């Protein structure tokens, strides 16, 4: 669990610093995304606040559940083996959520190759975390069936 929190904290810090540096040195690159993921949720503004609250509750609820899981099942592979990818996902989500809360939108500054879209380090962390976690999940072998004695 500590590793998950360290990874998430590192991603939040790295993403926020990168957004600040981009705004300071390359302000023309920075675009404020007030919509949802890839600007999919737009106006009216009330939808944006509903989206902000919903995403915040999901992120806090998910982290609370992971903390509970790690305490109830200390040897659970869910948290122990997936700490880094889950930390990437949670840290990226929290960093973008902080932007929405503090800036009324996410600061996007990295161009997605081959598209007119922009994103940020948090988005890349989320994407990497999801791919990594799915790859890990696909590798997990189901437990062998237990033979019962028929005496």
pLDDT tens readout for residues 98-119: 998 898 889 999 988 898 889 9
Local confidence pLDDT in tens for the 151 residues of the chain: 788 889 999 999 999 999 999 999 999 999 998 766 655 555 555 556 677 677 778 878 877 787 777 777 766 666 677 889 989 999 999 999 899 889 888 999 998 889 888 999 999 999 999 999 888 877 766 667 777 777 6
- Report the Cα–Cα distance between both ends of the chain, in Å, rounded: 44
Would you state the pLDDT for residue 17? 98
Would you state the pLDDT for residue 79? 64
Query: How many Cα atoms within 13 Å fall on the side-chain side of residue 102?
Result: 10
Distance CA(114)–CA(33), nearest Å, equals: 19
* DSSP classification of residue 41: S
């Amino acid at each position: 669990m500590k590793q998950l929190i360290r990874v998430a904290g590192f991603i939040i810090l790295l993403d926020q610093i990168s957004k600040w540096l981009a705004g300071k040195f390359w302000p023309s690159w920075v675009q404020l995304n007030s919509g949802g993921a890839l600007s999919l949720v737009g106006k009216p503004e009330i939808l944006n606040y509903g989206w902000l609250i919903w995403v915040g509750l999901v992120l806090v609820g998910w982290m609370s559940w992971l903390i509970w899981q790690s305490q109830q099942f200390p040897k659970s592979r869910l948290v122990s083996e997936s700490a880094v990818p889950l930390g990437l996902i949670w840290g990226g989500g929290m960093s973008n959520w902080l932007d929405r809360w503090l800036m009324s939108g996410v600061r996007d500054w990295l161009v997605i190759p081959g598209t007119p879209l922009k994103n940020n380090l948090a988005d890349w962390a989320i994407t990497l975390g999801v791919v990594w976690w799915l790859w890990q999940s696909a590798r997990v072998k189901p437990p062998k069936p237990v033979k019962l004695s028929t005496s």
